[in-house]
Structure 1
């Protein structure tokens, strides 16, 4: 690609990003418009945009979301989310902060076992119902869950898509991630609860009358269709098993999700059109546009040049390289989606590991710095990670709109604190106490 294409791609991406953050037009329109301009100016062609594994639309993410949205759409018809909403409020005795703390822990744990996007698709509907029952504003609870999903997803190989990319490149196992990243993920989840207690303190308004009304409810009465519930839970269990057994079965999560959605629709005999109405189509379109725009920056060499500049600045200083990779990844992952960023940065990280005397794979600290920076940096802005975009789409559809800046003003605080703690963790574990 020529320098002209590189500068043009930067201009288009910057313009689209400004439209997204200022919300002058809908973010889906901005992303699709930017993608169209990238194709028009030749920053990326149709083959790269739609078929390239590294620079094109990540269809695995798109179809994973589509399949899980369909499954959630069927489960919504059973009343199970109302059941869970009543159950959680009763266990927290209607106290808003207790409810948030419970949802944060549940989301973080579930995101470590599943992927974080699947988790928020399941938890967000429950949260909306809880807030409706208690007369609370849903935005703080949804934002807290996004943070929890990205932090919890850091703990395991399957928790966040960037981790899968890193594991593949470095030859890391599920247990490697548990040993090296789960301890800091657990610590950061506890820290997040404290941060949210401070950030959202004005939203914890306890309505005793509403709480008492919920305490008198019987959650079992919320289930409207027991047979459909059993069918839905059985299929969901199979899908989760498919995610966990990915290293053995070698089926991509997207394939598992689509098979699960098709099976559930077939055996339950629900109306297909009704299920498809539950799919967040604007969110899927936004992802497609964003992938093409970021792919254009990859194709024109912009992201590669940025990454190489970072690598050159690190030199042979292992501690400096670790901190540079951590903070640089956190900053860049807040601007572009962390999936294509990690796909671009992984081979550069492998070269850095070799330059510092290690094998290209293995348990080198640089891999953990890349994972922590990309995963935690995804909390910085509304488009930093897939889970962020999904939840904001669900909120908008339920008339609980969260603006770019409302999310980002909290996201920057959480990212700054968690990345700083991650830097301390890496320094203590791999340098000071090594």
Structure 2
């Protein structure tokens, strides 16, 4: 019997050694990584995978890193996981010390600087992180920087502003993905510059001058793309020519939604959306968005524009006047976001696109971080610029990074960890000591 137990022990030890050897053998010849985090965000985000899938054809990456030290190995290790997702992503190294004159001509100033080549496009990276690398890949997909002109001079939301109502945070994020925000002041220029890809009219507080409105309508008539953010009470007569050219109307009053209380929203003027009418902008979009103080929109006449609603209130929504009265109230569902398109009068492009939204706060510094506001804003800009391949990109960041805990639950957790758990440990320790004395 003792001999059999010893034999079993030796067999078990032999099996353990063989198993360890087999694992080592397989791991030396096969590279398999399993990431069980949400969206595989530790290894590579869904957004990065999506951008890589949009790149049809090889991507050549040249790193100008000194062979001395570990920088080359670090860069190669970081890019290896991208190469697993896209095998035709190639990395090569150049020693910047061998030809300093050539490095100066190339503008290489940082050890390890990367230049990404895709077709006839090029992007540069000084710092290699997943965020910066994904942004560079997105710019490669986009092709070239897009010029987005924000109308200024009449109290509009500023693209470089830091005030709560401004769009500075969103505009800076747009620039990371290949859009360049520039001011457009019609007191300084008589027309929209030819190289402009998109004009943004963001909630002007003062009346636009006749020359400014003529410049905008001329730009629209010549095939330009436009984003018009209108707020409640923004029925300035100076904007009527723009509305007439589009065949729409900003309705008086603002939306209120009685169902806001069920979503823990204290202000009924805060419109929450989790369901969207089918459109090119919202296809596959499921994130909840928040819109404070919304102006309803309406199509007033048929025109050459194809008008598709993509933001619509619930059936419980109604309108009220700006002063809070409900006279002549309209019942929901009511549209407050239109996507307009038509054959472009410009021979340079096939389609002209315009978006009109009865709210500008959802992209402001105050509300950009709520729900899917930023992701929806990126979709709107991608659609307006004709970058349809980027519209369905997964949203950036992990949706479960913020844990919302009510005050009651927080009190329970605090009592459990500060009082209950220490008492439980004391009781268990006392029981163990009591049993040892009895033994």
Bigger helix share? 1
Return the structure number with greater relative CO, CA threshold 8 A, min gap 6. Answer: 1
TM-score by length of 1: 0.25
Larger radius of gyration: 2
TM-score by length of 2: 0.25
Bigger strand share? 2
